[in-house]
Structure 1
Amino acid sequence: MAGEALERGQAAAVLARAGIEPTALRLCVADVLAREGRALAAADILARVRAGRPANKVTLYRILDLFVEKGLAHRHSSGDRAFRYCLGPRFSSRTHCHAYCLRCGRMECLPAAEEAVDVAALAQSCGMDVAGVEVRIDGICAACRESGGPVATAETPGAVDDGCGNT
């Protein structure tokens, strides 16, 4: 489902099955996550939501927390200390890894974690029942590599003009 708009009825049904009232703002947040097809920072989600309707940051974070709690979204850490959000298992059965660009902060969804990590072998070697796997590959994306320039660090996230439209 990632990368394409959700049908309103489909999203409403998923929210209802999760025990969440399908308000207009919640449906809009679900649609933004589905349309984008990649993990987004809350500020990016808020900007996209505000393009179509009024919304505030506190309400957005409450919606994102609720979506994560109910399995509708995943919350992923990133190198710039900001969480990124993407669709969760109730919207998309596809578990996946992420690639994070250290220069522009873009986080892309990659193929399933099971294709990149032998979860069963890790679980056995750790002696644990695995509840989830989060894999993030940090590096420089192709667009930033072509533009050159310094790499942002955790101490100066987003402080670098990276040539990708982010500062």
Structure 2
Amino acid sequence: MDVEAYLRRAGLPATAHRVQVLKALAEAGRALTPQELLALVGGGMNRVTLYRILDLFVEHGLAQRHSAGERALRYCLEASPATKGHGHFHCNRCGRTECLPASALDLEALSRSFPFTIEHAEVRFDGVCADCLKNGD
């Protein structure tokens, strides 16, 4: 993924910190807590800078913010700024939260079925992931 081009398409300058955070989100491929993101981007960034970048990404449609259920937020890369959200699967045993493909939720069909327009969706399924099932956790 060309993160600098991705940022420019969203109308954001590609600063070094923004590039770091976007790369970390893209490479993770799953929803991360701010603490996990800070560990991935290294010691050159503080929490305030990270939260400002994450808020900016959410505002510009680059990332999705959602409740992790344990009084924490998680962030993940949005497929595109035009995407209206996607679902997540949270493992109750290991605590990992995975992004589901946008095709798992047919928001367009839902919008056609009811007299409203969906601007954002936040859906989370809780259960036990395949790894935990396999390992007997």
The aligned residue for residue 65 of structure 1 is: 55
The aligned residue for residue 24 of structure 2 is: 32
CA RMSD of superposed structures (Å):
2.5
Alignment of 1:14-93 (within 5 A): 14-50=6-42, 53-90=43-80
Structure 2 residue runs without a partner (length 5+): none
Q: Secondary structure at the match of 2:80?
A: coil
Letter in 2 for 1:88: E
Kindly indicate which of the two structures has a greater share of residues assigned to strand: 2
Tell me whether 1:144 sits opposite 2:120 in the alignment: no
Q: Secondary structure at the match of 1:71?
A: coil
Q: Which has the larger radius of gyration?
A: 1
Aligned residues between the structures = 136
Distance 2:45 2:107 in 1: 41
Is the 1:80–1:105 Cα contact (8 Å) retained in structure 2? Answer: no
Cα drift, residue 102 of structure 1 = 1.8
TM-score by length of 1: 0.70
TM-score by length of 2: 0.83
Cα drift, residue 39 of structure 1 = 0.9
Structure 1 residue runs without a partner (length 5+): 1-5, 149-167
The aligned residue for residue 105 of structure 1 is: 95
The aligned residue for residue 133 of structure 1 is: 121
Distance 1:85 1:73 in 2: 6
